[in-house]
Structure formats: C-alpha cells, structure tokens
Structure 1
Amino acid sequence: MTARPEIENAIHRAAWGYDENDVDLIADQFADNAELTMQIGRDGDTIGPFSGREAIRKLHADSLVSQTDQRRHNVSNVIIDAESADSASTLANLTLLSIENGAIKVLSSGYYRDEFTRDGGTWRIATRHIYLDLPY
C-alpha cells in the first residue's frame, strides 16, 4: 500500500503554510533533524543547509516578514522515486505566483527534491532541496 496521499499532503501543507503565513504549519511538516538547502538559478550557489525544524521555521518566518505580496505555491507533478515502510524520495514541480496591487505575476518556477521519513506514524520531510529557475 502506498503512502502517496500522506506524502503529497505534507508537501502541500508546507506550501499552504507559507501562503497563509503559518510558520508552525510549515515547521510541522519537517522532521526534528531535517535539513533544507536552496539553489537559485542553474549556476547559483547552494544556500544553507538550514538544519533542524526550528532553523527551518525561522528561515520561513524571516522570509515572510519582509513580503508585502500574497504568495501562492503551486506544487504539481509529484513523483515518488522510491518508497519503503519508513522512507520515501520525491520530486515535484513548483510554480511560485505573487499577487499584489491587483496584479498577478509568476515569480519563478522550480522544483522540490524531498526525502521523507516516517516519524511516529506521520510522514515528515527529512531533507528538502529547493531549486528555483529564476531569482525573485
């Protein structure tokens, strides 16, 4: 039996948390010892790692403080590369939209590369690499 619904829900809850300025919801999708890295553009340097749930929570909280727009993370084409009883590997497309002053624009496209772990029966992100095609 696949854990696809639970894994996809964790991916989408993290996106929804960002869009709704709910850093606790975002953080809850990550394992205690999770790591997050990011790369902007093909030749961009790797940013991070941000290690641990609290560091990932702080990263998102700090990012949200400076934003004046409404973001919408559209996550699609979720592929589960590998899955066992307690771990999974996924790849998903990201389209990042910005709504401000009555206008909507695409900020970037990209993807998430996630490794999941089962934590007390709940699927959580153990590692996440965010790749953005364009800087925003």
Structure 2
Amino acid sequence: MSTENEIREIVSRYTRAADQRDGKALAELFEADADVSVHYHRGPDGDELLGTLSGGAQIAEAMSTSMAPHPPLGWSHHTTYDHLVSVDGDEASIETQFITFDVVGIRKPEGGWPEGTFGAQGTIKPIESGYYRFSFRRTDGVWRIRHLGVLHDIPYVY
C-alpha cells in the first residue's frame, strides 16, 4: 500500500472510531503524547480556539465521554473528502474536509410498516462541517497521528 493510502486509511479509521464513540480504537491511532486542537473558523475574524486535548489517554477519554451518546436507532456518520496528502520521509500530513451527519431511524411499528411504505425510514441531517488537519510521524514502520487540528465551519460548543 502506498504511504498516501496508509495516511487516508488512518483518517478513515479515525472517523469510524468517532462514529462508534470508541476511545480505545481512536487512541491507538495517536502517538502517546499527541495533541488535538479544536477551532471555530470565524471568517475574516480568524480562528477561535475552542479547546485542546493532550495525550492519547485524554483523547480517548474525550471521545468516549465528551460526545453525546447516540439516541435509540441513532448514529453519526462522518464523511471526508478532498484529501490533500503530503509526505516527507517519516513525516506526513493530510488536510481533508469533513461533514458529519446525524442519522436516526424510525422504529418499525408493532403491526409492521403501513401498506405502501417503502425506502429508508428516518432522517439524515448534516450537523458539523469543516476541515481536519492531521500531522503524522512514522516510528518503527508505523504511522501515528501526532497532531490533529479540527476547524469547524459553524459555532461549536466544546
């Protein structure tokens, strides 16, 4: 697998761990002393720092406890696109845009779906968008995240 694909795969594993609220899986992607910074982009007024996390343990804890649990029949679904990957020896970076969707299904009625019902039953709505800016380091042949900057497009309470 090419280095660029390895980096994209780590981003994919990150978004899946976030969707599953799996702090342990997420922490495995980061260096032990990695950090995360979360910002809100205020247009021409610049970026507002909303918070930081330091170290794999704090990052894992935040993923497992600071994000709202999914409601019954609910899920979040992160998507990333327009990946810009740069590799320089044992260091790499990727900037990617993201959208997170809130997905909530409708429970099947006791008597079954009414006649004529078809297709997906529930709602899907975008709830977050912005940019992820990852920095990576390869140690002993393994790529890990050393920094993640999250830049939200809309106000975000952190």
Partner of 1:120: 140
- Residue 24 of structure 2 aligns with an amino acid whose one-letter code is D
Helix, strand or coil at the partner of 1:11: helix
Please give the root-mean-square deviation of Cα atoms over the aligned residues, in Å: 1.9
TM-score between the two structures when normalised by the length of structure 1: 0.88
Q: CA deviation at 1:128?
A: 0.5
Supply the distance in 1 between the matched residues of 2:19 and 2:94 (Cα, whole angstroms): 21
TM-score between the two structures when normalised by the length of structure 2: 0.77
Q: Which has the larger radius of gyration?
A: 2
Supply the distance in 1 between the matched residues of 2:154 and 2:70 (Cα, whole angstroms): 17
Aligned: 1:78 with 2:83: yes
Structure 1, gaps ≥5 residues long = none
Supply the distance in 1 between the matched residues of 2:20 and 2:63 (Cα, whole angstroms): 12
Runs of 4 or more, structure 1, over 2 Å off, are: 63-69
Structure 2, gaps ≥5 residues long = 106-121
Helix, strand or coil at the partner of 1:45: strand
Helix, strand or coil at the partner of 1:60: helix
In the alignment, is the contact (CA less than 8 A) between 2:23 and 2:59 conserved in 1? no
Q: Could you give the per-residue CA deviations for residues 11-65 of structure 1, whole angstroms, max 9, x where no partner exists?
A: 1101001112322111111111101011134266312321111111111111245
- Residue 56 of structure 1 aligns with an amino acid whose one-letter code is I
Question: What is the percentage of aligned positions where both structures have the same residue?
Answer: 27
In the alignment, is the contact (CA less than 8 A) between 1:108 and 1:135 conserved in 2? no
Helix, strand or coil at the partner of 1:4: helix
- Residue 123 of structure 2 aligns with an amino acid whose one-letter code is A
Supply the distance in 2 between the matched residues of 1:114 and 1:128 (Cα, whole angstroms): 5
